A = this chain, B = another copy of it.
Amino acid sequence: MATVNSSLVAHLPLFAGLGSEDLAEVLREARSTRYPKNSAVFEQGADATSFFLLLHGHVRASKTTPTGEQIVVRYVGPGEIFGVAPAIGLQHYPATATAVDDSVVLAWPSAAWPRLVARFPQLAANTLQTVGNRLQETHTRVIEMSTQQVEQRIAHALLRLAKQSGRKLEHGVEIDFPISRQDIAQMTGTTLHTVSRILSGWEQAGLVEGGRQRIVLREPHKIFLLAEQAAGDNGSS
């Protein structure tokens, strides 16, 4: 573990409103750890011993139901907090966090949370904003699942991933971490099979370019139009 360079994280929303002295004090309680690709940061149901800030890489948060189905809750990008169970009063992590790329995280012990909040109330307010935003996003997802066709949900999911973690290429935008059709199915509430079919269709139409655990959006704008199309509307008016 090394001391984290304050300047790298000072601009993050989590630390908004904190002075550099304060920030240093907060960082002093954290340890950074490296998680290799495909390793678990924590498992669903385990004691919530820490909360985290992702410095580098990508982490997938997923939940498994009692009957064995899995769904992807979200992909966490650099600069985002995750595993905030301690802050919202949970004893156990409600989901599993897996590094999908080699990743580096900062971890604070759970016991530090009450102390930090007492000393720097801004931390609670900032975390509240983040959690509130995620609640909004999740509501959006519920709405999509209630009212949209599978094709539109996949379009939305890809656009969100591209926006959050897209890498610009000469001929499109690439999702810059490994993601399988199965993962997309678990994000959009459908099956691997349907995702595969739809992406194949899009590939033939030149909208995307696929590959194993790899997706490039060649025509983001056309995908956006697909996403906004009302169900049953074929767009040719």
Interfacial residues, chain A to chain B (CB-CB below 8 A): 63, 65, 67, 69, 71, 73, 84, 87-90, 94-95, 117-118, 121, 124-125, 127-129, 131-136, 138-139, 141-143, 145-147, 186, 189, 230
By a CB distance below 8 angstroms, the chain B residues around A138 are 135, 138-139, 142
Contacts A118-B121, A125-B124; is A131 near B135 (CB within 8 Å)? yes
Kindly state the separation between the CA atoms of A60 and B57 in the bound complex, as whole angstroms.
40
Point out which of A94, A131, A186 has the most chain B C-beta atoms below 10 A from its C-beta: A131
11 additional contacts, CB 8 Å, given A71-B147, A138-B142?
A: A67-B147, A67-B230, A71-B142, A88-B131, A89-B132, A90-B132, A117-B125, A131-B131, A138-B138, A142-B142, A142-B145
Q: Is the interface of A mostly helix, strand, loop or mixed?
A: helix
Closest-by-CB residue of B relative to A94 is B136
A147 to B66, CA, bound (A): 11
Q: Is the CB of A145 within 8 A of B147?
A: no
- Which residues in B have their C-beta under 8 angstroms from that of A141? 142
Minimum distance in angstroms from A232 CB to a CB of chain B = 11
A187 to chain B, nearest CB (A): 9
C-alpha spacing A113/B141, complex, angstroms: 28
| Cβ contacts under 8 Å, A186 to chain B | 146
Across-interface contacts of A133 in B (CB, < 8 A): 88-89
Q: Which residues of B contact A124 (CB under 8 A)?
A: 117, 121, 124-125, 128
CB pair A143–B65 under 8 Å, yes or no, is yes
- From B63, B125, B132, A139 is in contact (CB under 8 Å) with B63
A-B CB contact pairs (8 Å), 26 listed: A63-B139, A63-B143, A67-B147, A69-B143, A69-B146, A69-B147, A71-B142, A73-B142, A84-B132, A88-B131, A90-B136, A94-B136, A117-B125, A121-B124, A124-B124, A124-B125, A124-B128, A128-B131, A131-B131, A135-B135, A135-B138, A138-B138, A142-B142, A142-B189, A145-B146, A145-B189
